[in-house]
Structure 1
């Protein structure tokens, strides 16, 4: 699977796009059978029960304008088709806006880009700072959201600004049953946050055939998140010793399934032995946020440290639930005191279906 920016023959791109459209049609046909209430759906369904399709910019000038046309409590699937181009805007999908699909109609995910440049430390007019939610280019609070054939970017330029709070999210989610397929997430610190409405709640996120890049904690949060058949790029920060951290899970202590990275490839332009695979994030020092992460059947680059896990904010990584299973490549290493591996007897209990808990996305 070529990652973002890789050269790809036009015929291959077209074939992949047609396959994605076919999969989307099948998913939406199934979704159209869901019960609907006319009282809660101001967006009328298409003829024959087909999902509503909203087009940007043909019908709506911005992505957010199309999202705003979907009422709270929507019970019918709505597809928002984005023509190829760059949409410099923030997009907010509310916690009562469900069953929305964003799909780029170009030949490749690079053809359709949603981008903005807000850091978390940027002051808000009413006081305080933007934080993670305010910085995110795209925020998804609703359930049953899907994105395909798109690129999400936060292009805040760290080098050009002096600010306390350089975290700049491309996407933040809190909704449940969210499916990202053939998308790219581009940023530096905190690129992709998959979260839940509250620590003790469960949200499920599935990322497949996609590309994620960043440098510090750029895949993080407490949702049960599966990243499969994807490319993850750990960007160099120019250090000879520590270039960053790929993950920072903050899983609730009673949730056995935090993050799973499987059948994927991690790449890096950083020097050998300068990258951590992750560290445990305890928001506001909460001791009940005990990160869980398994990296299995995934290729690791030489940039990964021999001792790949790091403490964070006074919390030891050894108290978190970090492990590898059948990792390979120049950055992989046998099990040891600083390199926990999953017991093979437990491997069947930590697969995609376990993390997604009965949800079977298309």
Structure 2
């Protein structure tokens, strides 16, 4: 029915050899669960891309610990934290659910590590004697799982984070079953390489939420989730602050995510709040993709650097508001980039693209669709003594009914646009490339 194999080789890439172990750990009608172990036998490599070839009819349906493109045929699986160094003799484990539609389910062939083929002998091992009848919904490995109903190793997300060893060097993926988890969550700076991954069918099924506000905690202290650990990843979940600013006599900020981590990735994530939903702190570089963020005033703010790619940004107040309040240091080239994203809102022609929390603020909307909620004339505004004219507010090739080119909407030239790409925003001095 199914088989597992091991391939070994010495690779010329980075003077490194690689060993790939493949094991089927469960099977059912039309599907299977498999585990892949990647061992670096040579010099340290800076991240990994694992390749293999599936027989026709085989495909990945649910990966754990990597992204795959394509998911069938000649597969390329990429580490979610691609630039993390893999030392000599270090092993990375990834697993997945797969599908197959033939009478047998052979092991994949032609394993590669970072494009170099791992050749060697194949030694099959038998499939499990009592395979499951349905696919598992959580990784069949030691990855900690959170479930409010007690069916996981932990009942709260914080308990799973607390169990991660201090100064861990390997990625720890914490899977979170569908449900609502009402607790302040903190990922401390001495716990890098943590992934929080929702296991529901979409990000709305797994919700991390609390309702602190600036009234009692100050703006930066009001967050539902605080992230200080570098190389953080969040996938397929919602982070929300459900404090209602309208209940107070005057509005109070209430942060959903306080991100103070370098090299963070948010993928298929929803950030929900009112005023000041998403704080991107000065030390942060982050990549947010295929996601959603909403609020009323300044709901993406701070002095960090972020690329928001293929995402929806929603002004939820019918009277409009201001989307960004960047405080980019004047010495820093890059601040906020909204790239290939969609700006929506409930109001019409009354939403500002941003205002400068600090005079050096840098914000660019590039190749995005700006809906009718955006002011067509002067969509930038002042903040205290900081004026939008002296900030670094820019647009480039936007479309939609809220897009326009006029004297109140500074535009990049084609020549300038070459230096304002997602790669340039995120590369820093270490060449980080999570795209």
What TM-score results when the alignment is normalised by the length of structure 2?
0.68
Q: Distance in 1 between matches of 2:228 and 2:193?
A: 11
Aligned equivalent of 1:189 = 275
Contact 1:267–1:301 under 8 Å retained in 2? yes
Contact kept, 8 Å, 2:305 with 2:335, in 1: the verdict is yes
Indicate the residue corresponding to 1:9 in structure 2. none
**How far apart are 1:18 and its partner, in Å?**
3.0
Higher-Rg member (1/2): 2
Return 223-232 or 132-141, whichever deviates more.
132-141
Question: Which of 30, 53, 56 is the matching residue for 2:143?
Answer: 53
SS in 2 for 1:349: coil
Separation in 2 of the partners of 1:73 and 1:255? 29
Q: 1:78 aligns with which of 172, 177, 187?
A: 172
2:67 aligned with 1:23: yes
Say if 1:20 and 1:344 are closer, same or farther in 2 by CA, change over 3 A: farther
Alignment of 1:103-182 (within 5 A): 103-122=197-216, 130-162=217-249, 166-182=252-268
Greater RCO between the two (CA within 8 Å, min separation 6)?
1
**Structure 1 range deviating more: 23-32 or 338-347:** 23-32
| Counterpart-to-counterpart distance in 2, 1:341 and 1:100 | 38
Tell me, yes or no, if the aligned pair for 2:175 and 2:196 is still in contact at 8 Å.
yes
Note the 1:1-362 alignment, pairs <5 A.
18=62, 22-23=66-67, 26-27=78-79, 34-35=86-87, 49-50=92-93, 53-57=143-147, 58-122=152-216, 130-162=217-249, 166-196=252-282, 202-236=283-317, 238-239=318-319, 243-270=320-347, 272-282=348-358, 290-305=360-375, 306-334=377-405, 336-357=406-427, 358-361=431-434
Partner Cα distance (2:171, 2:214) in 1: 32
Is the alpha carbon distance of 1:32 and 1:342 closer, same or farther for their aligned partners in structure 2, counting shifts above 3 Å?
closer
Three-state SS of the structure 2 residue aligned to 1:246 is: strand
Confirm or deny: 8 A CA contact 1:188 1:214 kept in the other structure. yes
CA contact (8 A) 1:227 1:262 kept: yes
| Structure with more strand by fraction | 2
**Cα distance change of structure 1 residues 213 and 16 upon mapping to structure 2, 3 Å threshold:** farther
Residue 315 and residue 251 in structure 1: after superposition, are their counterparts in 2 closer, same or farther (change >3 A)?
Answer: same
Q: Find runs of 4+ consecutive structure 1 residues off by over 4 angstroms.
A: 19-22, 28-33
* CA shift digits 1:160-204 (9 cap, x unpaired): 2336x61111101111000000000011101111112xxxxx431
Gaps of 5+ in 2: 1-58, 69-76, 95-141
Q: 1:31 to 1:54 in 2, by over 3 A?
A: farther
Match of 1:12? Answer: none
Residues 28 and 77, structure 1, Cα contact 8 Å, conserved in 2: no
Shift of the alpha carbon at 1:150? Answer: 0.3
Report which of the two has the higher share of helix: 1
Question: TM-score of the superposition, structure 1-length normalised?
Answer: 0.81
Number of aligned residue pairs: give it: 314
